[in-house]
Structure 1
Amino acid sequence: MWWLPKSYWPVSLKYYMINPYLLSCIGLMLGIRVTKCFWNNLTDMFLIITGGKDSTFWAILEYGVLKAPICTMVISSFLFSFSKVYFDYGTKAVIYFTIPLLVYIILLWTGYYGSRELKKPNLREEKAFADKFVNMFLKIHSYFVNIGQANTLINPEITEHLCVGSSKKIRAEVDHLIQDFCNRLKYSIYAGFSTAYLSIYLPIAFLPKPVYGMPQYLLINEIWITKVFIIVVLTSFSVYFTYLLPLNYLNLLQKAAFHLGRWEEVEKNQAKEFVPFSDEILYPASEKVTVSFNNRFYKVADSKNAISTVAIPGNTAQFLFFRIASDPVRFVTFLCLFEFTLIVFQFSLLIMTSDWQHIVTLVLLMFANYLLLGKLFKDRVVVGRIYNPSGEDVDLWKQMSLNLDETSPKKLLDFIGRPVEIDVAPLTGKKSDTSVTGNIVTIDPESKSVCLVQFYHGIPSHSIYVPGTSVLEVHDLTEGPFDDVNLNYVKNTPELMMMINEKFRKKVEKKNYSEEEIERRRSRLLAKLEYSCVKHEVLDDGKTVLVGAVKIRAPFEVDSCFSENQLALGRVRKLVESVFDGTAV
């Protein structure tokens, strides 16, 4: 709108049609997400620096030096520019700039959880029943309290799926994920609308009518503006939607979908044997059970990799969730096709246009879509190799796996500090759909149990114990990737080994026993076992004493006892301690 096509350069750019204050308002409103992202990054940075502890100095530096001045500059700049726009256009400026806020409230603040109710004091409750005006005020207050919490998105970096055996807990988790997915979709729709509204429509709505006191009449290419508006809406939507759906979030949805399952409606004449549906029963996916619900009949649908079926028959939301979340490869492929179609549409417009300013606009928008298509195509390749691996991928994955069972105890020491991903057996015992990542702290050479330390932004956050019976496969991540700061593991460095030695290794002075002392200790231990009538067995030429499920190795100290049975291990350790506490045998 600020260029006169097919004219000479000195008179082609109509700078007088540019309102710098309007441009400033639009730019600040479009950049509000950047400001919010910068605010969150500052919060995370100071959280890491302080370690979650209260500190007056860091609080003053965070809010007084960084956050408060930045917000003050942004707000004051917007208010100053908007006051100039309001002076020129009056209430029209207020109405047009309020529309995005109204759309935000209607789109995002209407679908909150109705079960969340505001807790009110008893006196206020009694008065609410007596006074309808107070009751109405309380409902409005409760509404605004709840809508602030209903649209909060879960953080996939710190959220893990838990394999539980309760059908109600599985449905509750799925319902929460459905609400979260819908919120992400709403945020993306709002991002597309608001970006196109602010960048395309508002400059047209606030075009200057008089110039130097003389009225002017502008010919607006409404067809071209409509096409650009649609392209900007779809481009902004696809970019923001892809940003809100990282691969780890799709993996979280898939795990929940495998536990949710799906029902398939059948005709009454096909349901020969059926049972009434119960929302407390977890129906295995491998058993083709037929149930009756609301005078209709359903059977467990054939679903690849599904573990159980706990969905409510005929529930549309749960059905759509399973169809979308059960196959991330199909979902990412659909996003690639959507983006490719958008690029083809833009390319067709580019071929048919002849105005140079239209060409520049389309090329810039196509460049953004090309980058997004490249990112989606890379994600498609990654999820395809993860969920539909080829034979070469399987062989490569096996080469990266660490076989703990066939590794000697001395070689297990080389695994300390190494970043790994461990596939953990679920509660159902049928299929692995859970894995944990971190750096190895220690490995029990007997039970093959593993202790991991996990990191948050490169700083140790907590440790995880994985029993040996739950370890299905251990994948070596020494080669990375390490380019994401949100990973739960870090590179194996000398600094990491030093940290593990300082925080996790038990500092004890080991005593070197001679052969005679070891023989004397073994004799005392065997005498104590025979005296206590404890069944035992001597193995490895006298180097190991087996007491039930516990192995006691030379030099027969408390720390020389090994077993996966923690109860038996504790008892035997106490017995060994009593042998060498100075009492006579």
Structure 2
Amino acid sequence: MPGGRRGPTRQQLSRLTVPSLQTLVGSGCSNGAGLRGRGSNSMGLPPAPLTALIAPEPVRHSRIPDLPLENPLVFELLLFLYLLVALFVQYINIYRTVWWYPYSNHAASTSLNFDLMDCDLAVFISIMLARRLVWTAVSEETPCSSQLKYVLLVSFRLVLLAASSWGLCLTLASLFRNHSVLSLLFLGYPLAVYVPLCCFYREGQAVSVAADFGCLDREADSLTRRPLDFLKLLRENLWEQLSGPAPMPAHTCPPSPELIRGEVEALKADFNRRIKEVLFNSLFSAYYVAFLPLCFVKSTQYYDMRWSCEHLVMVWLNAFVMLTSQMLPPSYCDLLHRSSAHLGRWQKLEHGSYGNAPQHPWSDATIWPQGVLVRHSRSLYKAMGPYNVALPSDVSHARFYFLFHKPLRVLNLLIGIVSSVVFYQFYSLLRSECWNHTLSLGLMLSCNYYMLFKLLRDRIVLGKAYRFTPSGSSVAFKSQ
């Protein structure tokens, strides 16, 4: 009716209608700017907090089977046998002879020039390569049912330790008598390099890596590098090299972002320590196996330098893969993957991009869902993971997520290294013309086949386990 009360027009309704929850979730909610309608006018209502509007999808992890891991003593024995084979191959490359020629002199009557070899040096290298095996045999806890077995075990360990120390002292004394000081400097070169690189600073142990992460406190975020006493650092680092890997930490699903970041900091410190041990021991093995025998070769002795250098690289790569597979087993890589899934990642955006999209100030007490835009340190970031509690400007958090958000990345890298070495050695075997090349490649390939078999077995089993998505989970992780 003309004189009746009119209701709101369609245009007024469109301006007064509050956006739905789906609209807020899809585009995010602006911070301090209010909700905007079709026009430029904004309402005076404050925006609702993000945690009240969006609940991130729960991350459900795949369960992997317990793959068999070699006993530390068995692994050290296999590594020592491999290094002895590699040392024998290097001596063949250096001191080979043309033994099939007519026996015109004594040197050509055998396949190797044994009279040119330094037996004291070979014994010294063997003892240095066996240091981890000896220490593992001495320090490993073995249950004994009777007191007699316990006494015999302790006596055997003491005899083994004393024999190794006595043999090392005798060979060192003989080398000091027969060689110059310049040549003897090569004997302790790895230790001289390791001390300044790894022993002056150490990551602060604000938390215990082996402790339950449910007990982490706010001090976990304050892990810094601090200078310590030099002798104490040297003693602790040498103890780590001899004692082997630390106990594997346990994983829980932390309820708060602060505990998630504390868990990541503890895992980063433990991972860096393991990688440092792998790098040092692999370089140490390659140095004593393939490089040190070259330093004591007489100037009149001829050998194939290129082939010896290739052998040095192959020994280092194989030792690196063997130590990495032992120090970073599948269960440990799965632990890192679970922690990275809760950490998340932020992508930094250019200024001016997403200018009309709602943006939020970053908060360290919020679990941010995927696709949300936040402001942190005058920069704009976009959440990329299902859970996002990482510090947007922290490069170490982004690196941690990149390395471990795909659980099989480390295993694929090891398989790629071993496969490349095997293919190159097989190609060199097909083209080899010297008898020492054929023999050395055959011995090294037999060791590499065993490593490749173990890695491929773990890759097949874990690939099937990670492809299975737990029931009720909407988050699937790519294993490649």
TM-score of the superposed pair, with normalisation by structure 2: 0.66
Indicate the SS of the match to 2:187: helix
- The question of 1:319 aligning with 2:319 is answered no
Displacement of 1:61 in angstroms is 5.6
- The question of 1:166 aligning with 2:256 is answered yes
Which residue in the other structure is 1:532 paired with? none
- The question of 1:18 aligning with 2:112 is answered no
Q: 2:286 aligns with which of 188, 196, 214?
A: 196
CA deviations on 1:355-390 (whole Å, 9 max, x unpaired) are 111111112112211111111110111111110139
In structure 2, the CA distance between the partners of 1:57 and 1:274, relative to structure 1 (3 Å rule), is farther
Displacement of 1:26 in angstroms is 0.4
- Mapped to 1, the partners of 2:324 and 2:181 lie a distance apart of 34
Supply the AA of the counterpart residue of 1:377: L
Aligned residues: 355
- The question of 1:155 aligning with 2:238 is answered no
- RMSD across aligned C-alpha pairs, in angstroms? 3.3
In structure 2, the CA distance between the partners of 1:62 and 1:385, relative to structure 1 (3 Å rule), is same
Structure 2 residues without counterparts, runs of 5 or longer: 1-93, 102-107, 208-226
CA contact (8 A) 1:238 1:339 kept: yes
Which residue in the other structure is 1:3 paired with? 96
CA contact (8 A) 1:25 1:81 kept: yes
Displacement of 1:88 in angstroms is 0.5
CA contact (8 A) 2:199 2:237 kept: yes
- Mapped to 2, the partners of 1:325 and 1:83 lie a distance apart of 49
- The question of 1:292 aligning with 2:375 is answered yes
Which residue in the other structure is 1:251 paired with? 334
- Mapped to 2, the partners of 1:11 and 1:140 lie a distance apart of 51
Which residue in the other structure is 1:223 paired with? 306
In structure 2, the CA distance between the partners of 1:381 and 1:352, relative to structure 1 (3 Å rule), is same
Indicate the SS of the match to 1:298: strand
- Mapped to 1, the partners of 2:256 and 2:150 lie a distance apart of 44
- Mapped to 2, the partners of 1:251 and 1:331 lie a distance apart of 10
- Percent of residue pairs bearing the same amino acid type: 22
Which residue in the other structure is 2:267 paired with? 177
Displacement of 1:22 in angstroms is 0.9
Displacement of 1:183 in angstroms is 2.3
- The question of 1:375 aligning with 2:454 is answered yes
Supply the AA of the counterpart residue of 1:20: C
In structure 2, the CA distance between the partners of 1:290 and 1:164, relative to structure 1 (3 Å rule), is same
CA contact (8 A) 2:264 2:339 kept: yes
More strand by share: 1
Displacement of 1:74 in angstroms is 0.7
Displacement of 1:208 in angstroms is 4.3
- Mapped to 1, the partners of 2:253 and 2:367 lie a distance apart of 13
- The question of 1:267 aligning with 2:350 is answered yes
Which residue in the other structure is 1:241 paired with? 324
CA contact (8 A) 2:364 2:389 kept: yes
TM-score of the superposed pair, with normalisation by structure 1: 0.55
Mapping of 1:455-534 within 5 angstroms? Answer: none
Which residue in the other structure is 2:128 paired with? 29
Supply the AA of the counterpart residue of 2:132: R
- Mapped to 2, the partners of 1:160 and 1:389 lie a distance apart of 23
Supply the AA of the counterpart residue of 1:297: L
- Mapped to 1, the partners of 2:429 and 2:398 lie a distance apart of 41
Displacement of 1:192 in angstroms is 2.3
Mapping of 1:321-400 within 5 angstroms? Answer: 321-389=400-468
Displacement of 1:330 in angstroms is 3.6
Supply the AA of the counterpart residue of 1:192: S
CA contact (8 A) 2:337 2:405 kept: yes
- Mapped to 1, the partners of 2:297 and 2:240 lie a distance apart of 39
- Mapped to 2, the partners of 1:78 and 1:30 lie a distance apart of 12
Which residue in the other structure is 1:402 paired with? none
Indicate the SS of the match to 1:309: coil
Displacement of 1:201 in angstroms is 1.5
Mapping of 1:407-422 within 5 angstroms? Answer: none
- Mapped to 2, the partners of 1:181 and 1:380 lie a distance apart of 21
Quick check: which has more Rg, 1 or 2? 1
- Mapped to 1, the partners of 2:145 and 2:383 lie a distance apart of 51
Supply the AA of the counterpart residue of 2:461: V
Displacement of 1:278 in angstroms is 2.4
- Mapped to 2, the partners of 1:188 and 1:291 lie a distance apart of 39
Indicate the SS of the match to 2:400: helix
In structure 2, the CA distance between the partners of 1:97 and 1:376, relative to structure 1 (3 Å rule), is same
Supply the AA of the counterpart residue of 2:290: I
In structure 2, the CA distance between the partners of 1:337 and 1:313, relative to structure 1 (3 Å rule), is same
Which residue in the other structure is 2:363 paired with? 278
In structure 2, the CA distance between the partners of 1:110 and 1:167, relative to structure 1 (3 Å rule), is farther
- The question of 1:84 aligning with 2:174 is answered yes
Displacement of 1:295 in angstroms is 1.5
Which residue in the other structure is 2:192 paired with? 102
CA deviations on 1:118-148 (whole Å, 9 max, x unpaired) are xxxxxxxxxxxxxxxxxxx985466557757
CA contact (8 A) 2:200 2:233 kept: no
CA contact (8 A) 1:188 1:240 kept: yes
- Mapped to 1, the partners of 2:337 and 2:240 lie a distance apart of 23
Indicate the SS of the match to 2:188: helix
Displacement of 1:89 in angstroms is 1.0
- Mapped to 2, the partners of 1:111 and 1:317 lie a distance apart of 18
Indicate the SS of the match to 1:243: helix
Indicate the SS of the match to 1:313: coil
CA contact (8 A) 1:328 1:383 kept: no
Supply the AA of the counterpart residue of 1:274: Q
- Mapped to 1, the partners of 2:360 and 2:230 lie a distance apart of 45
CA contact (8 A) 2:390 2:397 kept: yes
